Structure 1
Amino acid sequence: MFAKMHHVCLSILVLACLLPVALSTGSSVEWCYHLPSCNDTTWPVIATRFCNGSRQSPINLKSSLKSMTSSQQKFTFTGFNDKAGISKIKNTGKSVKVEFKAGKLKVSGGGLSTAYNSLQFHLHWGNSSSPGSEHTVDGKRYPMELHIVNAKSIYNGNLAKILQDSEGLAVLGFFIEVDSGTTDQPASWRTLTYHLASITEKDQSADITGISMNDLISGVDTSSYHRYLGSLTTPNCNEAVVWTVFKNPIKVSKNLIDLFSTTVRVGNRSSPLMTNVYRSVQPLNGR
């Protein structure tokens, strides 16, 4: 029994490393956000298998569409209150990623077909004067977007099986909106952004303690959300994601939001600052 549990936890750890740089699959495809030779306009060419597919993400969402709000579709977030569930924050060179300890956090309910293991979350942003969420609502782009990446528990971290399943990954998307008139709020985000100064260069990481996932998404009504089938938002753009994008945004002070685009860099200390790290909206193709 112990050996089996150890194998499952190890598989989850490996999967967490392979999955999203931002939602990446550990592919060898050279892609980026900041250079014309490899930015998102080139992805359908440099990663042709999926990036030019028919159910790509992100998309523009319509506020007029009915929310998923029935009692049978409420989420169960296991371990989201655990302040020991978050382990590290890392500069991936394309985003800031926060890793969870293996097996600590899980997601079920919410209209999902089965339970999912939570692996990590990462963020997408623009710059201090331009918004950078991936999804838009009625054409509006929010300042930032947070993605919690979850993999079907039944696959025990088997990446091949997860990516072959049209709902192998469940990603929870949270818009981040400016909390006008505040500074350094909320406290959980002040703690999170405090660590950015330790990961200014690519591949730098730091231990992170004292906050839970629930602290970071506090105030969000998780019973109201958009749902659609889509893809990873970076190469290889695998169409293996059931998306949940919550209607209610997280409120964060502008000075904390701006720290992402003014602190972390895409490479070493002489490389450009990490700005506009989001993919453009993709066609609905009948969805």
Structure 2
Amino acid sequence: MNRPLFLALVACTFISRARCASDAVEWCYHLSDCNDPNWPTIAPKYCNGSRQSPINIVSASATGDSGLTAFTFHNYSSTVALTKITNTGKTVKVTLASGVQVSGGKLSEAYDSLQFHLHWGNTSSMPGSEHTVDGKRYPMELHIVNSKSSYNGNTSQAITDSTGLAALGFFIEEMSGNATASPSSWHTLTSYLANITEAGHSVKMTPGISLDDLLAGVDRTSYYRYLGSLTTPTCNEAVVWTVFKEPIKVSKDLIDLFSSTVRIGNSTSAHMINVYRNVQPSQAVTTQLKSTASKASYSISFLSILGAIYSRI
């Protein structure tokens, strides 16, 4: 199966309303007859499954795993990798050029990075991230969708393999202070929204910003890991989820552009707001082991303090 067809199908199962072979479903975020409480009925094969996403991550319950090492991000610094931005009617999606990959981080092999999309609420005051941490919901969440490189675009294999897809989730949080139009990479990204206000609209992106630019400031060695699903119908349970602990910092004015610019249909339809699935039953979550060196340093420091106290008695 060629790459364009694979991209179309992944977009369909992950973030679109389009018809997808035998798994055709009609779903939405905004109407009571097709929003996420109805998805287990609309698409029962997977949306009613046992390892659904997103989830609330309880940080204290995450088990340490020494295998969760650093990732290698190939071509994430490329300023020509972001090729097209699209209003799907459900989200804003950016298509990535071929040759962008992620590996390491206890992934079983290299995965091709295909696209990223976003989830949000209704302005920064009404948060809309999909995952939550200790009950906290962030204003937005960015998902980079990846597929096992060995499948070469074979969607049939990818979505039936329990680890066929890998999703990298990044929270987006409001930047402190009175900053506007910041950071510059996000200012550039959001400048395209005015050209894709209606569902189905897409435009080519001019070379200039990279994935690294959009993820600047995030510690990509610190994350949570669990096995889950696509967060939109058909909710295939085929995703290795990585949710990074540090959020991307973006100014309030840019966050608010998503819910005030793009629409779910034509120019007279409602703005796209609250485009996220509610949390599903919890799954087993792992994270990095606490550094032994840090513990040793803490112990030595603590003993030094005790020694200083006793020497004064």
Q: TM-score range by the shorter chain?
A: over 0.9
Which residue does the alignment assign to 1:3? none
Q: What is the deviation of 1:20?
A: 2.8
- CA separation of 1:68/1:247 partners in 2, compared to 1, >3 Å: closer, same or farther? farther
Same amino acid, percent of matched pairs: 60
- CA separation of 1:186/1:150 partners in 2, compared to 1, >3 Å: closer, same or farther? same
Superimposed CA distance per residue, residues 71-101 of structure 1 (whole angstroms, 9 cap, x where no aligned partner)? 8711000000000111000000000000001
The answer to whether the 8 Å contact 1:22/1:95 transfers is no
Task: Give the greater-gyration-radius structure (CA).
Answer: 2
The letter of the residue matching 1:115 is A
Which residue does the alignment assign to 1:114? 109
The answer to whether the 8 Å contact 1:266/1:273 transfers is yes
Provide the secondary structure at the position in 1 that maps to 2:197: coil
Superimposed CA distance per residue, residues 232-271 of structure 1 (whole angstroms, 9 cap, x where no aligned partner)? 0000000000000000000000100000000000000011
The answer to whether the 8 Å contact 1:44/1:50 transfers is yes
Which residue does the alignment assign to 2:247? 249
The answer to whether the 8 Å contact 1:91/1:202 transfers is yes
The answer to whether the 8 Å contact 1:189/1:252 transfers is yes
The answer to whether the 8 Å contact 2:114/2:146 transfers is yes
Which residue does the alignment assign to 2:71? 75
The answer to whether the 8 Å contact 2:127/2:138 transfers is yes
Provide the secondary structure at the position in 2 that maps to 1:117: strand
Q: Distance in 2 between matches of 1:88 and 1:168?
A: 24
The answer to whether the 8 Å contact 2:15/2:91 transfers is no
The answer to whether the 8 Å contact 1:86/1:99 transfers is yes
1:211 to 209, 212, 218: 209
The answer to whether the 8 Å contact 2:55/2:283 transfers is no
- Determine if the alignment matches structure 1 residue 152 to structure 2 residue 143: no
Superimposed CA distance per residue, residues 117-140 of structure 1 (whole angstroms, 9 cap, x where no aligned partner)? 000000000011310000000000
Provide the secondary structure at the position in 2 that maps to 1:164: coil
Q: Distance in 2 between matches of 1:193 and 1:255?
A: 10
Matches within 5 A, 1:75-224: 75-101=71-97, 103-128=98-123, 129-181=125-177, 182-209=179-206, 210-224=208-222
CA RMSD of aligned residues (A): 1.7
The letter of the residue matching 2:14 is L
Number of matched pairs: 277
Q: Distance in 1 between matches of 2:271 and 2:195?
A: 15
Q: Distance in 2 between matches of 1:67 and 1:17?
A: 36
What runs of 5+ residues in structure 2 fail to find an aligned partner? Answer: 286-313
Q: Distance in 2 between matches of 1:224 and 1:286?
A: 17
- Determine if the alignment matches structure 1 residue 12 to structure 2 residue 10: no
Q: Distance in 1 between matches of 2:284 and 2:244?
A: 21
Provide the secondary structure at the position in 1 that maps to 2:278: coil
1:263 to 261, 264, 274: 261
List 4+ stretches of structure 1 deviating above 6 A: none
Provide the secondary structure at the position in 2 that maps to 1:89: strand
Q: Distance in 2 between matches of 1:123 and 1:104?
A: 22
The answer to whether the 8 Å contact 1:134/1:141 transfers is yes
Q: Distance in 2 between matches of 1:68 and 1:187?
A: 36
Which residue does the alignment assign to 1:281? 279
Provide the secondary structure at the position in 1 that maps to 2:106: coil
The letter of the residue matching 1:15 is F
Superimposed CA distance per residue, residues 194-233 of structure 1 (whole angstroms, 9 cap, x where no aligned partner)? 0000000001001112100000001100000000000000
